[in-house]
Structure 1
Amino acid sequence: MILNARRIPADNGRSELILLTVSDRTEAEQARFELEGHREFLEKLIDSVREGLLVLGWDLRVVRANQTFYDLFQVSPSRTEGRLVYELGNRQWGIPKLRELLEDVLPDNNAFDDVEVEHEFETVGRRIMILNGRRLDHLDLILLAIRDVTEQRLLEAQQRTLMGELHHRVKNVLASVTGLANRSLHESQSLDEFREKLAARLAALSRTQDLLMRAPERGVLMAEVLRLELEAQGGHEGESFQLDGPGVTLTREATQAFAMAIHELTTNAVKHGAWASPEGRVKVSWTVHRSGGNVKNISFRWRESGCEIDSAPAREGYGSRVLRGVFSHSPVGTSELTLHPDGAEFVAEFKLQD
């Protein structure tokens, strides 16, 4: 209650009086309290929104903005509030699409939703934004919500690229499996032999895929592929095999083909060559020569020793065909397999792109 009192002096025989007025302000104070509560709620709500939020007057001048907006576009309140929205940040917000939404769409429709706008800003670079707007007729205000989806769009593009690459890889792997199965079936004299050959080649294919998965964004070193296949067949570097050559990086496509070729060489060494006897050894060496630009000429040599082999085999095996196909795939690629009395020798010349 609001109390007011006045003393009225005595007059004409009357006693002195006191005039007391009582004004019940309960409802008015409750209304004011609720109004302040609503204001506090709205201010904190605006600041808690994770999207950038601008409150504009109908003259399109900024009444206020939330902290997310200031952080996102690297502007300050002093250079934002009271300014025409198009003049913000050295007039960076003079976006034609935004003008159309605020001046043409919003007056007729009271709202617009999920309009994607891409724009280059001086301070934060190119951004992709989703805009939502609402007109508050009773308050003569406009709410403009700005969601930055730049990183989301980048991730979506990367995901599409990865899915395309995965699809391509799966097709290549399935094609490789089909080829391995057909070749193994053509070579085999029995179901057991087919099963053994196919299982070994699929294991080699799997090892290569594991190697590629560990290096998804770069090529694979030739030495890694060699070491993986040789050790998979029980070899020990420095004892049963030796590697000698500079660092050469294979592309993803070249890695798979090269790994299958080395698998065939290694398998032949185990069954018929150097590693068929305890004294057998394998030495692998390679050199690199630049031929201009980003093209490298590779001289590759596989030499087995310490064994006795038939230097005149009856027929050409799948391994020989794989080697010839891999290392002679380009017009300047050459390969030759020579069977010496003490072990096989395979030499090849081929090109690689950096």
Structure 2
Amino acid sequence: MPDALNSLQDAQVLALAIVNTIPDPFLILDEKFHVLAASRAFYEVFQVDAAATQGRSLFALGDGQWNIPALRHLLETIIPDRVAMDGFEVAHDFPGLGSRTMLLNARKVVYEESPAITILLAFRDVTASRLIAADLAVLLAQTEQLLEQKQMLLEEMRHRVANSLQIIASILLLKARAVVSEETRNHLKDAHLRVMSVATVQHHLHMQDGVAQIDVAAYLAKLCAGLSSSMIGEDSPVSIEVHADPGVAESATAVSLGLIITELVINALKYAFPDHRSDARISVQYERNDNDWKLTVSDNGVGLAGAARIAGETGLGTTIVKALSKQLGATVEIGDQAVGLRTMVTKASFTSRPISRQLPRS
């Protein structure tokens, strides 16, 4: 033992100094729970006097404020059977402090050459953290309830939108069949196809409800399959092929891509194949390179030849495609290829590379 600790008195002075450096309230008790020493933090937090504390029973301090059943249980029942106890929670209304929740850590010190027992008792006030935790629990429960209500409202809105789109599409189709004017009939059919395209995009995004990132390849495959089944009749079969790199896109981007593809497919169905052909084909290709991408919709039809196709590429559908592409920060290029027409929508400085994923025909 160092010379500085040769006497018992020196050891006691050192022990008390250590106790006073502890930031939380701290007590040293004897085996009968009398206070041998207390930290400065104990006196400050609980607003008690040192002269009225040392040497007295813990349970008799003040007006008996420490005569707490839970604390008695800890000291009289648990500690005798254990050397240590951590995280024992005591809730009590302390004079001058109000209701407090204390976390107690206790240690029993047994000496080799003495029957005496010393109990070390540390207090930590966790009232604020418990209140915060309780408030957070209430807030979380309220948030979950609001999210459930929001989900129910969104679900109801989706059903109403889907039903409304179906009703509008049906009315347009009935009107188209009833009118005499061929021009009016074509306008009504165009309107019907566009309503159906919005309904198709809405349906496929609804199937991925709550997903902020959409699997583009799977989404395009399902979308084109839906377009094929709803817009292509048996009397004029046209196959739609989908080739897509793997990757995800924000749901808002996926909506715009879906509407662009739908408009381009509608244009191809209307103008690319004036004569029925058994090999009529529309190809949808999505390439991705980091955050950039390129969407190509092509067909093996008549290309830009003929006034009808030229009108189709300068009409409402193309205007919609260009507007949606501008929102995405993409450019649009329309032109003939070896056979048929090709429309490319390119985001930023995209550079093509070999397609890494090919999906089966829709």
TM superposition score normalised by structure 2? 0.48
Greater relative CO (CA pairs within 8 A, separation 6+): 2
TM-score, normalised relative to structure 1: 0.49
